[in-house]
Amino acid sequence: MTPGADTRPFWAPRAWLAGRWQEGVLLRADAQGAWAEIVAGLAAPAGARVLSGLVLPSLVDAHSHAFQRAFVAFAERREAGEDDFWSWRDRMYRVALRITPEQLRAIAAQLYVELLRGGYTQVCEFHYLQHRPDGAAYEDPMTLSWALAEAAEDAGLGLTLLPTLYERAGFAQASLRNDQRRFASTTESVLALHRAAARSGRRRVNAGIAIHSLRAAAPASIHELRRLADGIAGPLHIHVAEQMAEVDECLRATGLRPIEWLAREGLLDARWQLVHATHALPAEIDAVARSGAGIVICPGTEANLGDGLTDLPRWLAGGVPISLGSDSQVTRGWPEEMRWLEYGQRLGLRQRNVAAQPGTQPATAARLFDAALAASAAPAGFAKWGLQFGARADFLVLDTSDASLLGAPSSHFLDALVFSSPGDAIRDVYVAGEAVIRERRHAAQDAIAARFAQAMSGLWEGPA
């Protein structure tokens, strides 16, 4: 907590604990902003801060490219031919090649306020934008990383920086394309960025590492980074099997599918987070389950890009940790991501309540939420997350008078939050015991929005 912060305990009439709504919950944070005491079944003690609403744990946004917030809605036209992930990517590079550190900070701060409103209080930045627009290194290699850290401070949410290995354009290419010049990195530079972030002492900033993808890093480099990562703290993220073209290229280059290759090489363990994992066969899912690795699904982005649908029932049945990410930022709240996740499965399988588990957890929203909550700590590099002793004191307060929840019985509040849309039920957001959103307003939102608008004007002068 910041010096002088209010240290009185909170009391909630109802909070989501251990997979169910519990009554009369006392929540006490310590001086470091971590939960020191959580007890249900109590009347409000004298002097407690009474929370007039439902208390729900926040989630971690486990996969974000903040700069892509500037590209939202700028690729939703098709003038000729076919449009797919690869054509979207080429157009997205326009932003990547132009954005300045000042613009990145402004855009990321706007995004991070939006993520707070969407129920996230920690973001994992899969950060591969490293150099000047001409590809030359900044005098301080952390320049763009600091822009993200400053944006997180502006907004008040936590940040896990994931400097990313990105060294080639594809399985058959030895180097990057010219329009990827800002992404160039090596195992040594990635580890140097990690060390700088981890030692920075910046408030609520920690670090892991990432590998962009199997197509973007040579096998020897992946093994070397994995070996060196044994000596550092934090998670290890990788994009994998997002597109069938990637799977086919991997098969041609290695004889194996991407997840299959990672498993056969003995790389996977509980530190790994496989982002997307869209095109995974049952044997690959079983291998991930045995390894202890987690997956990060980004339903809004995967729908927007036409990636396809992953085998959610198999991932759930295997007990694989499943977290959520905002990725390209077309959606910026976990209730919508969760809704997209379930609805995609319903469309693909022509069934309803695909994620429910009759006899154990028949409520679809509750099962998805608890799965994402349980999986939130590892991608961000934490040992604990949620309303439990020792976890950071982050939480949401829901307004039951919001149209999405109005009139719903308590047993169906989560169902309504996820499946009754549109809604604006998240009223207050707390990070480390301090309110960063009150009555749906962020204290700095107007100034942050003005800087965002100015940055967007600078980026998009002329035709988009």
Per-residue tokens: 231 = 């000596």
Of 195, 110, 95, 197, nearest to 146 by C-alpha is 197
Q: How far apart are CA 236 and CA 228, in angstroms?
A: 11
Q: Phi and psi of 297, rounded to 5°?
A: -100, 140
Q: Which residues pair with 211 in a beta bridge?
A: 165, 238
Which segments within 320-422 are labelled E, that is strand?
A: 322-324, 395-398
Write out the H or E segment, with its range, that includes residue 448: helix 445-459
Q: How far apart are CA 451 and CA 102, in angstroms?
A: 9
In the numeric block, the tokens 């962020």 are attached to 442
Query: 332-366 burial, b for 16+ CB within 10 Å, e for fewer?
Result: bbbbbbbbbbbebbeeeeeeeebbbeeeebebbbb
Q: How far apart are CA 146 and CA 161, in angstroms?
A: 10
Tallying the residues shown for the chain, one arrives at 464
- Among 61, 154, 307, 327, which one carries the catalytic annotation? 327
Q: Would you tell me the crossing angle of helices 101-117 and 445-459 to the nearest 10 degrees? A: 130
Per-residue tokens: 362 = 């028949």
In the numeric block, the tokens 């009150």 are attached to 438
Q: How far apart are CA 117 and CA 115, in angstroms?
A: 5
> Computed from CA positions of residues 287, 126, 165, 250, in that sequence, does the dihedral angle turn out positive or negative?
positive
Q: At 34, is the secondary structure helix, strand, or coil?
A: strand
Per-residue tokens: 139 = 């005098």
394 is catalytic: no
In the numeric block, the tokens 């992946």 are attached to 222
Which segments within 113-156 are labelled E, that is strand?
A: 120-127
Task: Tell me how many degrees the CA angle 66-69-70 measures, rounded to the nearest 5.
Answer: 120
Reading phi first (left if > 0) and then psi (alpha if -120 to 50, else beta), residue 241 is in left
* 252 within 8 A of 282, measured Cβ to Cβ: no
Q: How far apart are CA 139 and CA 131, in angstroms?
A: 10
Tell me the DSSP string of 43-105.
PPPTT-EE--SEEE--EEEEEE-GGGGGGTTSS----SS---HHHHHHHHHHHHHH--HHHHH
Please report which residue ranges of 166-294 form alpha helices under DSSP H.
Answer: 187-198, 219-229, 244-254, 258-264, 282-291
223 is catalytic: no
- Among 127, 276, 279, 442, which one carries the catalytic annotation? 276
> Could you list the active site residues?
276, 327
